[in-house]
Homo-oligomer: A and B are copies of this chain.
Amino acid sequence: MKCLMAEVNFSEGKNADLINQVKEAMLAGDPIDVMEISSDVNHNRTVFTFKGDPRAVLEATKRLSAKAVELIDMRTHKGAHPRIGAVDVVPFIPVREVTEEEALEICHEYGKYLGSIGVPVYYYEDAATREERKSLPNIRKGQYEGLEEKMKDPAWVPDEGPKEFNAKSGATVTGVRFPLIAFNVNLQTTDLEIGKKIVRAVRAATGGYQNVRAIALKLEDRGGIVEVSMNLTNYEKTPIHRVFETIKSEASQYGVGIVDCDLVGPVPVYALKDVLKFYLRTHSFSMDQLYM
C-alpha cells in the first residue's frame, strides 16, 4: 500500500486552543496515521508529522493549512525558530511505493491550493524550480520580516500564488524529499586524517556518491576513534550498504577496519530492502512480506 509522509511546520507553539483547532481540521477527513505532534513554546512553532494514503495525506495537509492560515496572524508572531509564514515548511516524504514523480504531483497540487487561498508558495528540495531554491535556509533567509522586500527581487518571485506579499500569512515553503538516514561508521583508528580522506571519497561535494553528506570527527568518549558521520538523503538511489562497503574498502588501504556503525533516529523499513538484497541476495523479496 502506498504511503506518503507529511511534516507540517506551522507558526504557533503556545496557544493550545488554536493548535487544537488546526489538529481537528487535520483529522476531519479520511484516516491518516499521526506519528508525532510536537509544540515548542520558545520556537513558538508546532510540527505535525503524519503518513498514510497519499491522497488522504494531501487532503489532511490542505485542511490543516487552511485552518492555520485562517487563525495565525504573522504580524504578531514572535519565536526563536526561523520562519517566513503561518504555514512555514511542508516537506512531503515518500515512505513506501511512492515515486518521486507521484510525490511531486501531490506537492504541486498542495502548492496550487495554498496559492488559491492567497498564500505565496516556494518549492524547495526535489521540487525546487531553480538551483538556489533547493535549500530551505536560502529561501527563508531574511525571514518573515524581510519577505516583503525579498519578494520584490525578480529572483524571488513565488512559484505559486500571489506575487505580492501577504502580511497575515507570510509565505509557505513546500517540497519533496526522501527520508533522511543518519548513518555513522566508526573506524578502528584515532587518525582524523584517515577519516577526512574517507569523507572525501564518499560524499557528493568532493566526487563521492550523490545523496551523501559526510564529516569526520573524533569520538572522545570512545578513546578518540574516528567517526564518519553521514546523512543519506535518498536511500533508494544511494543505499546504505553501498556507502558502507565503499567506506570499508577505502579504509582497508590504510589497514583500518570498521569498529561498528550507528543508524541514528527513525529509519524507514524500506531503506533495508537493498541491504537485504545485497547481503542475503533475496532479489525477489517484497517488503510487503514483512510484519511488525
CA distance A268 to B272 in the complex (A): 13
Q: Known contacts being A262-B284, A262-B285, is A279 close to B290, with CB within 8 Å?
A: no
Q: Is the CB of A263 within 8 A of B275?
A: no
Tell me if A283 is interfacial: C-beta within 8 Å of chain B.
Answer: yes
Q: Is the CB of B266 within 8 A of A280?
A: no
Residues 254-271 of chain A, each 1 if its beta carbon lies under 8 Å from chain B, else 0: 000011111101111110
Q: Is the CB of B258 within 8 A of A282?
A: no
Which one of B241, B266, B283, B289 contacts A267 once the chains associate, using CB atoms below 8 Å? B289
Contact status B280-A244, CB under 8 Å? yes
Chain B residues near A279 (CB-CB < 8 A): 241, 275, 279
Using Cβ atoms and an 8 Å threshold, which residues of chain B touch A3?
292
A292-B3, A292-B290 are contacts. A283–B268 as well, Cβ < 8 Å? no
Least Cβ–Cβ distance between A263 and chain B, in angstroms: 5
Q: Which residue in B241, B258, B269 is a CB contact (below 8 Å) of A291?
A: B269
Min CB distance A173 to B, Å, is 24
How far apart are the CA atoms of A105 and B150 in the complex, in Å? Answer: 67
In the assembled complex, how far is the CB of residue A193 from the closest CB belonging to chain B, in whole angstroms?
A: 23
Contact in complex: B263, A285 (CB < 8 Å): yes
Q: What residue of chain B has the Cβ atom nearest to residue A264's Cβ? A: B289
Q: What number of copies of this chain does the assembly contain?
A: 2
The answer on a CB contact under 8 Å between A261 and B282 is: yes
* Known A-B contacts A260-B281, A280-B244, A281-B258; A291 and B266 likewise in contact (beta carbons under 8 Å): yes
Distance between A276 CB and nearest chain B CB, rounded to angstroms? 7
Q: Is A35's beta carbon under 8 Å from chain B?
A: yes
Shortest distance in angstroms between A267's beta carbon and chain B's nearest beta carbon? 5
Contact of A280 among B241, B269, B281, B290 (CB under 8 A): B241
Q: Quick one: closest B residue to A1, CB to CB?
A: B292
Answer yes or no: A96 CB below 8 A from chain B CBs. yes
A291–B35 CB distance below 8 A: yes
Residue of B nearest to A279 (CB): B279
Q: B291 contacts A262, CB within 8 Å?
A: no
When distances are taken between beta carbons in the complex, the residues of chain B under 8 Å from A292 are 3, 95-96, 268-270, 290, 292
Q: Does A240 contact B (CB under 8 A)?
A: yes
Can you list 6 pairs linking A and B with CB atoms under 8 Å apart?
Answer: A3-B292, A263-B285, A268-B292, A272-B276, A275-B276, A275-B279
Known interface pairs A3-B292, A241-B279, A269-B269; 17 further A-B residue pairs with C-beta atoms within 8 A, sorted by A's residue number: A35-B291, A241-B280, A244-B280, A260-B283, A261-B280, A262-B285, A266-B289, A266-B290, A266-B291, A267-B289, A267-B291, A268-B292, A270-B292, A272-B272, A272-B290, A275-B279, A275-B280
